[in-house]
């Protein structure tokens, strides 16, 4: 049973991380905008507004795959954007890949929507690397949820990344410690019409694509820039 599940996970991972078409990436951007809007539509259950106002970057992984029997794993593709002075208020979306493992009595498989917010410049710089480990190279915490979490936001400012998940309708803070994040270079090249770097995308040197407008609308509704991000 364990061997069979391991084979399935490897096969799924290989399919997941194949180069996507531009249409698939547009679908991913649209799904990311829906996830962000849905998790924040109820103010008493979403990410505290104060944190969103201060966030330097926002990452969304819609439908992150997870599977496990004794040893669990997770993997998925998503998008990340950072604050910008352009008309959208955000940089173009950079395609990222997240993968990692966990140990424990985990049985079953499914999909989880993951949202993470990067709270300062140091965290943003990690995103531009070829690969970094959450909780290792970048400090991370499970983010607080709803208005009740606002009282603890001062403590949360010390973390570079705050992360959340939604599964079966339940939205809560999670830790992504041990997961690795890296840019999807081939996907970014396909989306932007040629080779580009994560650094150029997330520092606003690449023109944001028009297809990302639904994502910008959701971000500007729930994460307006009212306070200077912590550096």
Digit-coded pLDDT (tens) for 47-89 = 998 889 999 999 999 988 665 444 456 778 999 999 999 889 9
What is the residue-averaged pLDDT of the chain?
Answer: 80
d(Cα 25, Cα 189) in Å, to the nearest integer? 11
**Are the C-beta atoms of 114 and 161 separated by less than 8 Å?**
no
**Dihedral sign, CA of 189, 195, 199, 204?**
negative
If pLDDT is split at 50, 70 and 90, which confidence band does 111 have?
Answer: confident
d(Cα 30, Cα 176) in Å, to the nearest integer? 23
229: nearest Cα among 183, 175, 162: 162
What are the extents of the domains in the chain? 2-222
Tokens of 118: 């990067």
pLDDT confidence of residue 219: 96
If pLDDT is split at 50, 70 and 90, which confidence band does 45 have?
Answer: confident
Residue 217 has pLDDT above 70, yes or no: yes
What average pLDDT score do residues 23-43 get? 92
Q: Which residue has the tokens 């994040």?
A: 181
Residue 167 has pLDDT above 90, yes or no: no
d(Cα 58, Cα 105) in Å, to the nearest integer? 31
pLDDT confidence of residue 102: 53
pTM of the predicted protein model: 0.83
């Amino acid at each position: 049973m364990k061997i069979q599940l391991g084979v399935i996970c490897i096969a799924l991972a290989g399919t997941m991380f194949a180069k996507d078409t531009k249409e698939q990436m547009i679908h991913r951007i649209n799904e990311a905008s829906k996830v962000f809007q849905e998790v924040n539509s109820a103010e008493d259950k979403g990410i505290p507004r104060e944190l969103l106002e201060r966030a330097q970057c926002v990452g969304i992984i819609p439908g992150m795959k997870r599977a496990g029997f004794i040893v669990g794993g997770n993997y998925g593709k998503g998008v990340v954007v950072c604050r910008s002075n352009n008309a959208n208020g955000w940089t173009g979306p950079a395609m990222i890949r997240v993968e990692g493992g966990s140990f424990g009595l985990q049985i079953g498989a499914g999909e989880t929507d993951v949202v993470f917010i990067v709270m300062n410049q140091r965290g943003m710089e990690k995103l531009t690397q070829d690969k970094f480990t959450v909780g290792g190279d970048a400090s991370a915490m499970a983010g607080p949820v709803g208005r009740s979490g606002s009282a603890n936001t001062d403590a949360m400012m010390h973390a570079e990344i705050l992360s959340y998940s939604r599964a079966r309708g339940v939205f809560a803070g999670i830790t992504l410690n041990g997961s690795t994040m890296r840019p999807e270079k081939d996907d970014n090249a396909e989306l932007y019409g040629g080779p580009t770097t994560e650094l150029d995308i997330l520092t606003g040197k690449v023109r944001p694509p028009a297809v990302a407008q639904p994502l910008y609308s959701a971000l500007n509704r729930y994460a307006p820039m009212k306070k200077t991000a912590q550096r």
